[in-house]
Structure 1
Amino acid sequence: MKTTDTLTGQTVIHVVQHLAPGGLESLALDLLAFSTPINQVMIVSLEGNKDQAIEKWPRLKPFANQILFLDKNPGVKLQTIMQLVKAFNQFKPDVVHTHHIGPLLYAGLAARLTSVPVRIHTEHDVWHLNNDKHVRLEKMALNVAKPQLVADANLVQDTLLSHFDYKNTSTIKNGVDCEKFRPGSMNVARAHFNLPQDKTLIGCAGRLETVKGHDLAIAALSYMPRSVHLAIAGNGSQLTQLKKMADQYDVSDRVTFLGLVDDMQRFYQALDLFCMPSRSEGFPLSPLEAQACNIRTAVTNVGASKETLCPKTGHLIRANDIHDMADVLFHMTCISVDANPRDFVLKHNNIRNMVKAYELLAVEAMPMGALA
């Protein structure tokens, strides 16, 4: 086995289903952006094309030469395996790192066919393993690809071990950029977004879709004092419905929809509290980003969300419970805490430590002599 003493540059290819704004996709992009400079890293997206992806997600533009799109159509496409085989033969990766079940099925097989020395698969959530078909498919894919299996949360690892008798399993928790997400001036941030300076401001962030639970936050707001306002960052199909709901609850003058926000660190800096009201999650990044900005945070108790909370400053909310959400958030507005949530994120969820952990895993799994 390789050790850190023999560390040399590696060619690493991450494979995702699609490259669009999202937690999993942001993580893959961070693994590229924060990789050790001697490594050559790229991302292959099974679906989509480069021009459209960059237009929808400008963050991709600086990495345009390091991303490849296969434009896969829905359904099972054997051609995709051959496209990946061709790409792997061209770039000769030392490591193929897959994210979620689709990439594992396609790229895992292609990596074995092209004798890629190290395969890593990260499981970002386990909701899909409630489906027996998915369990069978993943078991087959793991047996074929034989990757180092990584869970991004303790809950995810426990679930994987309950489904699969797979020895090469470990946990590497997701991280965020603590140099980008850092404390800043609340007044400046509120002025930037034209948010009220004299109100208690709770923020939510994420796609405006039912699963993210913004409707629950709006309903909970109606049970809190009128001095409490809500700012929501994100776009999605539920925008019109959410605005109607704010009218129905008579809180439209207390809810600000900011749309898609590019400088999310400034959004968090504007807040008194951050709330993630989701109905379903894996291991979410937004609570980590908010806490890295030293903003106290509350999350619904879904998926591995509670693993993202600073135990001294964070609070859990019962899922789908408007009244508990209102109670928890109001309680948080009334108390001060002599602790910094940023310290928790720096210790447990710094993106640079996460990247180092993945790089070390790849080096340790590398067969002797596989690297030049």
Structure 2
Amino acid sequence: MRQMTDCGTSRITFVLPDLSRGGAQRVALTLMNLSVRKGLAVTLLLVGDRRDELDDIDPEINVVRLGKNRLLRAVPELYRTLQRQKPDAIFSTIGYVNLALLFLRPFLTFDHRLVVREANLPSAIFAKAKVPTFTRTLYQSLYRRADFIFVTSEKMQQEFSDLQLARSEQLCLFYNPVDVDKILKNATGEAPFPNRGNTLKKVVLSGRMVEQKGFDRFVETLPDLSSELEFHFLGDGPQKEKLVQRVSQLGQSHRVKFHGQVSNPWAYYKAADIFAMPSRWEGMPNALLEALVCGLHCVATPESGGVEDIRKLMSKPEQLTIADFDKDFTASLNHLASKQGKTEDGIYLPQSFSLENAFTRFQQKIMS
């Protein structure tokens, strides 16, 4: 790899499909902003034609849009753009974009390092694929072209090895960077849902309302959950209307609130008592990490990605309950309903997820 450009500044191109508020995009954005602060020249190459913007992108980042509504149509222009830019390093964190870049790699004629991050467990990706065998074959043949593969949990690292998707020396355990200062700054101020004269404990569930997040199965358990709990859903998605209707059918609308997509979820976390994650699958759950920053007791399914890694690294692992869905999950929430509220100003996020730790590891792999 060419270590430095002629002007003495390393150049990194991040490739994303769009700037939506997905977890993988947020990880990439954090790394981009950190790279700029550390003096690197950063280009963001956006494949899609959506105009979603994240308001905290550093103005020093050079944003290039391909304006294509499908990745397949963007591949020729993606290749030409990279050939013109000739970055020292390329980074991607969305599975299908990873595959496209790895396919193109033998045709790129400049010296570079290519690092990809996998956002979800391979087993979950293959299970949801239209043609699982074909998808697995693509991973097995293309992922070996990467210089490094960032995996977000020990479980994911083990799956890559067991499924023979990569060589062991390619795999790098990389925990999501969490901006604790930013979260705490935005979490202060007036509570988004005041007590309104009641003493009910507030449970927050956050994420896109799709099958993966398990909100549909969670609402079915509402009649079995303690009357001492009320529930606040943050996010939008294709399941939202059905979820609202089902909550009404179950007679639970009086203690369930759908807030939609909010720009500052951390204020809700800080004002709540419990964070619940009934996901069917995850990679490394950003929302749960951020809830730990805000001092919440978290209840998550074992399928919620790297939760075992998180709990193992925590100084107070009792603040994260991992429970099978649905009986154990329900019992855990009911148990918390009877306990004292959360500790004020508690921060339970392990140090392994700090910005500095993440960037040091990122820089080692993408610049070495």
Range into which the TM-score falls when normalised by the shorter chain: 0.7 to 0.9
Please tell me whether the aligned partners of residues 278 and 301 of structure 2 are also in contact (alpha carbons under 8 angstroms): yes
Aligned equivalent of 1:128, options 110, 125, 134: 125
Look up the SS of the partner of 1:13 in the other structure. Answer: strand
Q: Tell me how far 1:63 sits from its aligned partner.
A: 4.8
Q: Tell me how far 1:300 sits from its aligned partner.
A: 1.3
Please tell me whether the aligned partners of residues 11 and 93 of structure 1 are also in contact (alpha carbons under 8 angstroms): yes
Aligned equivalent of 1:334, options 335, 338, 343: 338
* Shift in alpha-carbon separation, 1:60–1:69, aligned structure 2, 3 A: farther
- Structure 1 residues 340-355: aligned runs within 5 Å: 343-355=347-359
Q: Which residue of 2 aligns with 1:370?
A: none
Q: Which residue of 1 aligns with 2:26?
A: 26
- The CA distance in 2 between the partners of 1:197 and 1:356, in whole Å, is 47
Q: Which residue of 2 aligns with 1:314?
A: 320
- The CA distance in 2 between the partners of 1:184 and 1:107, in whole Å, is 36
Q: Which residue of 2 aligns with 1:368?
A: none
* Shift in alpha-carbon separation, 1:12–1:75, aligned structure 2, 3 A: closer
Q: TM-score, normalised by structure 1?
A: 0.83
Q: Which residue of 1 aligns with 2:65?
A: 69
Q: Which residue of 1 aligns with 2:101?
A: 107
Please tell me whether the aligned partners of residues 278 and 304 of structure 2 are also in contact (alpha carbons under 8 angstroms): no
Aligned equivalent of 1:360, options 337, 345, 364: 364
With 352-361 and 331-340 compared, the bigger mean Cα shift is at 331-340
Deviations 1:50-75 (Å, cap 9, x if unpaired)? xx223xxx436655963323233447
Please tell me whether the aligned partners of residues 115 and 149 of structure 2 are also in contact (alpha carbons under 8 angstroms): yes
Look up the SS of the partner of 1:345 in the other structure. Answer: coil
Q: Which residue of 2 aligns with 1:367?
A: none
Look up the SS of the partner of 2:242 in the other structure. Answer: helix
- The CA distance in 2 between the partners of 1:197 and 1:86, in whole Å, is 61
Please tell me whether the aligned partners of residues 294 and 347 of structure 2 are also in contact (alpha carbons under 8 angstroms): no
Q: Tell me how far 1:121 sits from its aligned partner.
A: 1.2
Q: Which residue of 2 aligns with 1:98?
A: 92
Q: Tell me how far 1:16 sits from its aligned partner.
A: 2.3
- The CA distance in 1 between the partners of 2:186 and 2:79, in whole Å, is 47
Deviations 1:319-359 (Å, cap 9, x if unpaired)? 3x1x3222101112333599899654241212332122101
Please tell me whether the aligned partners of residues 312 and 339 of structure 1 are also in contact (alpha carbons under 8 angstroms): no
Q: Tell me how far 1:102 sits from its aligned partner.
A: 2.2
Q: Which residue of 1 aligns with 2:80?
A: 86
Gaps of 5+ in 2: none
Look up the SS of the partner of 2:12 in the other structure. Answer: strand
- The CA distance in 1 between the partners of 2:93 and 2:259, in whole Å, is 30
Please tell me whether the aligned partners of residues 46 and 69 of structure 1 are also in contact (alpha carbons under 8 angstroms): yes
Deviations 1:75-98 (Å, cap 9, x if unpaired)? 744xx3432232223322110012
* Shift in alpha-carbon separation, 1:73–1:181, aligned structure 2, 3 A: closer
What is the aligned-residue RMSD (CA, Å)? 2.9
Q: Which residue of 1 aligns with 2:244?
A: 243
Aligned equivalent of 2:114, options 81, 102, 119: 119
Higher RCO (Cα < 8 Å, 6 or more apart): 1
Alignment partner of 1:272 is 2:273:
yes
* Shift in alpha-carbon separation, 1:39–1:172, aligned structure 2, 3 A: same
- The CA distance in 2 between the partners of 1:93 and 1:37, in whole Å, is 17
Q: Which residue of 2 aligns with 1:10?
A: 10
- Structure 1 residues 85-234: aligned runs within 5 Å: 85-112=79-106, 113-125=108-120, 126=122, 127-130=124-127, 131-143=132-144, 145-162=145-162, 163-166=164-167, 167-182=169-184, 189-190=190-191, 192-193=192-193, 196=196, 198=198, 199-234=200-235
Q: Which residue of 2 aligns with 1:42?
A: 43
Please tell me whether the aligned partners of residues 207 and 213 of structure 2 are also in contact (alpha carbons under 8 angstroms): yes
- The CA distance in 2 between the partners of 1:189 and 1:326, in whole Å, is 30
Q: Which residue of 2 aligns with 1:53?
A: 52
Q: Tell me how far 1:173 sits from its aligned partner.
A: 1.1
How many residues end up aligned between the 2 structures?
A: 348
Q: TM-score, normalised by structure 2?
A: 0.84
Please tell me whether the aligned partners of residues 181 and 292 of structure 1 are also in contact (alpha carbons under 8 angstroms): yes
Please tell me whether the aligned partners of residues 273 and 341 of structure 2 are also in contact (alpha carbons under 8 angstroms): no
With 254-263 and 309-318 compared, the bigger mean Cα shift is at 309-318
| Identity between Structure 1 and Structure 2 (%) | 19
Gaps of 5+ in 1: 365-372
Deviations 1:95-153 (Å, cap 9, x if unpaired)? 0012233222322344441324211111111222452212211222234x342122111
Equivalent AA in structure 2 for residue 85 of structure 1:
Y
Look up the SS of the partner of 1:294 in the other structure. Answer: coil
Equivalent AA in structure 1 for residue 134 of structure 2:
K
